[in-house]
Chains A and B, each alone.
Chain A
Amino acid sequence: MALRVLIGCKRVIDYAVRVRVKPDKTGVVTDGVKHSMNPFDEIAVEEAVRMREKKIASEVIAISCGPAQSQETIRTALAMGADKGIHVEIPNADMSVFQPIHVAKILAAVAKKEKIDLIIVGKQAIDDDANQTAQMTAALLDWPQATFASKIEKAGDDLAVTREIDGGLEDVKVKIPAVISADLRLNEPRYATLPNIMKAKKKPVQKLSPKDLGVDISSRIKVISVEDPPTRQAGIKVDDVDSLVAKLKEKALI
């Protein structure tokens, strides 16, 4: 088994940063805000690199769709051990309406072009929590999918995947080529160490546009408004049970 693996890495606002809504309510503030790789995608990269170390994978390609700064995200993947990168440039202005369906179409096109055997993406992105890309990509390619993976092992010519589901854990076997989405407990991603960070600067990153792949990214949705959740109201203290009952009646709760 010498799989060619494609990893989807999304550039998102770093999870340690406090997200702020723009005053005009058209979105969240992204200018000057620290971004990093979606944590679940980091787990996907880690898994692919481990597969390459175990000789299950022969090449690991990291792909990111986004503005120019997405190159940093790809560099991180390269520093973690990916072999080469692909950057599909999406203008910043289009990012708010760039949806998982577009990403899925792009991944499917690249998978065919690069003769990919396995696509691993994070189960969801921490900014939109969509949890759609893996599933849509599999459907477009007509490949089997194993989502919420917490363990991936070689099983003959197939892959044995343990999935985290509501009732517990589910074991499935998928034929190659397949799409897998990484869940939290799949692994703990490594930090990129200095020698690898330096090496990553020399690894190739190919630049493509959606048009090159024959993908139409015109928006299918419109953002109406983005608002903060309502602020929590302070509670009130009462002195005794009678006052409590009176208050509850006043609020028509009893």
Chain B
Amino acid sequence: MLSRLGAEFLAVGRISDRYFIRRCVTKITTNDGIKSPKPEYTSKRYSVKRGDFSCLEDRDIVFFKHLLDKNRVLTDPFDLEKYNVDWLKTVRGKSACVLKPRTTKEVSEIMRYCNEKKLAVVPQGGNTGLVGGSVPVFDEIVLSTELMTRFRISENNPAVVIAQAGCVLEKLDTALNQHNLMVPLDLGAKGSCHIGGNVSTNAGGVRVLRYRNLHGSVLGLEAVLADGTIFNGLSTNLKDNSGYDLRHLFIGSEGTLGVVTRVAILCSLRPKSVTTCLLAVPDFESLLKVFVVAKQRLGEIMSACEFMDSDSVACAKRNLGIEPPIQSRLYALLETHGMDSNHDEEKVDGFINQVMKEGLITDGILTSEPSKMKKLWEIRERLAEALRKEGYTYKYDVSLPFASFYKIVEVMRKRLPKTVITCCGYGHLGDNNLHFNVTTKEFDPTVLTRIEPFLYEYTKRCFGSISAEHGIGFKKRNYLYYSKNPAFVHMMAETKRTLDPNGILNPYKVLPDFEA
């Protein structure tokens, strides 16, 4: 919506004044500026020291504009905003340049140049990461994959899709639908995340229970190393034990060992029969029993087993106006995928009858209608969005044994001050993966100290993981030792030094400060 002032300018101004007008108008009426203030600069809020990298100069911009074209090199501060701030609006960098290559060759030329000039680079996909790993900390150049959107079905294997890193997950899935295929992963960010980013972070999601993670489904990939070398590990073989399986280095290394440019992913046939059930469970003990019965009764057709607590659901109702049709202290959200609806219905009926008979649930919804299933999943998928609306989210993603799984949420609730708006737990029950979240209106360092390192120490004592699927990024780099021993981290650092001697790829991420 233009303010009257802006409208007047536009009426009088010409094309050459467009920039000036845009700047004026944004200062007056930016949606974002009014609703949610920009976060503090990361370099200010956290004590980080800028690495020994070169600073961007005009001649570098000239080179990039010559290599790509002037439309694919962004330098206007207004355009750079969205690349500098993460989705959670908790970290903010000061990048002065965003590059948008279209091909692997262009990525290679960019990296070769940056390595020579010692310019730091942050690879960025859909910028939906939750640990501040996808945005600059200082003035690193952002290398965006958003124009690398081509994909095709492999000639060698009709179930394999070869995609450039910038393909949006949901778009890829919709296109594969026509071939009766589906991508093996599904997460709330699917409308924005890029497959290259998914692979670089070994993204998990709600279907890991059934379709396993990307280490299993990525058959091969192509990446560009820090010095511009193109690592061509693109393969469509289902089995290949010829040599070190180097693709696994790049899967999950969060853009610190190479820029993933293309991936070959094994897709599954789209299931003919899908059922979703939302169950009202009175307590965590019953929830665990429901999961056991589900494994026994649904077995191989179970494709997702999620849980939510009443606090997360209340947050969704408060901030998004969506709520489940049944009330409960805890909810289980289960999904089945199969090829025969009669067979699946029998299994689901058996499961439901047993959990009802054993008094494990107080109520439930069961449906196979796509429109209804979408609505049930919406509550679970939009929880992160609902939490974000409350102000600042302290977001944690841990792997814990069931004995300590929900207990930690109750323990934390007692530890936290009254200024906290929501303290809740939800996540991938079937993978022992808890998403623990706390919100306050604005960032409050005292709340942070009540959570960290207590939560990480708790996780370490249980031999869990401080980051089940979100990765380390910027936010968790100094807590790596809670899940990995020093020798392990040392070997990580050695690998980094070998593949990126100048340390220009996504610096300040993954490795702890003193080791990098």
B7-57 interface with A by 8 A CB criterion? 15
B352 at the interface (CB under 8 A from A): yes
**Contact between A190 and B370, CB atoms less than 8 A apart:** no
Partner-contacting stretch, out of B361-369, B447-455, B478-486, B495-503: B361-369
**Contact between B369 and A193, CB atoms less than 8 A apart:** no
**Contact between A194 and B363, CB atoms less than 8 A apart:** yes
**Contact between A193 and B371, CB atoms less than 8 A apart:** no
A180-216 interface with B by 8 A CB criterion? 190-195, 197-198
How far, in Å, is A44 (CB) from chain B's closest CB?
17
A166 at the interface (CB under 8 A from B): no
State in angstroms the CA–CA spacing of A34 and B270 once bound together: 13
Quick one: which of B177, B365, B368 contacts A194, CB cutoff 8 A? B365
**Contact between B371 and A194, CB atoms less than 8 A apart:** no
B339-393 interface with A by 8 A CB criterion? 352-353, 356, 361, 363-374
The residue among B326, B365, B369 with the most chain A CB atoms within 10 A of its own CB is: B369
State in angstroms the CA–CA spacing of A129 and B352 once bound together: 37
A36 at the interface (CB under 8 A from B): yes
Per-residue A-contact encoding for B255-292, CB less than 8 Å = 1, 0 else: 00000000000000000100001010000000000000
**Contact between B272 and A191, CB atoms less than 8 A apart:** no
How far, in Å, is B143 (CB) from chain A's closest CB?
27
Chain A contacts for B325, CB-based, 8 A: 190-191, 193
Chain A contacts for B356, CB-based, 8 A: 194-195, 198
Chain B contacts for A192, CB-based, 8 A: 365-367
State in angstroms the CA–CA spacing of A240 and B18 once bound together: 13
Chain A contacts for B353, CB-based, 8 A: 198
A17 at the interface (CB under 8 A from B): yes
**Chain A residue at minimum C-beta to C-beta distance from B361:** A194
State in angstroms the CA–CA spacing of A139 and B370 once bound together: 36
A117 at the interface (CB under 8 A from B): no
* Given known A32-B272, A240-B15, contact A194–B352 (CB-CB < 8 A): yes
Chain B contacts for A34, CB-based, 8 A: 368-370
State in angstroms the CA–CA spacing of A39 and B372 once bound together: 11
Per-residue B-contact encoding for A31-75, CB less than 8 Å = 1, 0 else: 010101001000000000000000000000000000000000000
**Contact between A16 and B374, CB atoms less than 8 A apart:** yes
**Contact between B371 and A16, CB atoms less than 8 A apart:** yes
Quick one: which of A14, A39, A195 contacts B370, CB cutoff 8 A? A14
* Given known A194-B352, A240-B15, contact A14–B365 (CB-CB < 8 A): no
How far, in Å, is B280 (CB) from chain A's closest CB?
9
Chain B contacts for A14, CB-based, 8 A: 369-371
How far, in Å, is B96 (CB) from chain A's closest CB?
28
**Contact between B367 and A191, CB atoms less than 8 A apart:** yes
Chain A contacts for B361, CB-based, 8 A: 194
**Contact between A193 and B372, CB atoms less than 8 A apart:** no
Chain B contacts for A15, CB-based, 8 A: 371
State in angstroms the CA–CA spacing of A111 and B278 once bound together: 37
Chain B contacts for A39, CB-based, 8 A: 371
How far, in Å, is B163 (CB) from chain A's closest CB?
21
Chain B contacts for A193, CB-based, 8 A: 325-326, 363-365
**Contact between B370 and A17, CB atoms less than 8 A apart:** yes
**Chain A residue at minimum C-beta to C-beta distance from B371:** A16
How far, in Å, is B273 (CB) from chain A's closest CB?
10
Chain B contacts for A195, CB-based, 8 A: 356, 363
B463-496 interface with A by 8 A CB criterion? none
Chain B contacts for A190, CB-based, 8 A: 325
**Contact between B370 and A194, CB atoms less than 8 A apart:** no
**Contact between B370 and A16, CB atoms less than 8 A apart:** yes
Chain A contacts for B373, CB-based, 8 A: 16
**Contact between B372 and A36, CB atoms less than 8 A apart:** yes
**Contact between A36 and B365, CB atoms less than 8 A apart:** no
Per-residue B-contact encoding for A93-106, CB less than 8 Å = 1, 0 else: 00000000000000
The residue among B15, B370, B372 with the most chain A CB atoms within 10 A of its own CB is: B370
How far, in Å, is B127 (CB) from chain A's closest CB?
27
State in angstroms the CA–CA spacing of A32 and B363 once bound together: 30
State in angstroms the CA–CA spacing of A123 and B26 once bound together: 45
How far, in Å, is A20 (CB) from chain B's closest CB?
9
Chain A contacts for B367, CB-based, 8 A: 191-192
A-B contact pairs, 5 of them (CB 8 A): A32-B272, A191-B365, A194-B363, A198-B356, A239-B15
Among all A-B residue pairs, the 7 with the closest Cβ atoms? A36-B369, A16-B370, A194-B364, A16-B371, A191-B325, A14-B370, A191-B365
Interface residues of A, Cβ cutoff 8 Å to B: 14-18, 32, 34, 36, 39, 190-195, 197-198, 239-240
Q: A15-B371, A195-B356, A240-B15 are in contact. List 13 more A-B contacts (CB 8 A).
A: A14-B369, A14-B370, A14-B371, A16-B370, A17-B370, A32-B272, A34-B368, A36-B369, A191-B367, A193-B325, A193-B326, A194-B277, A194-B363
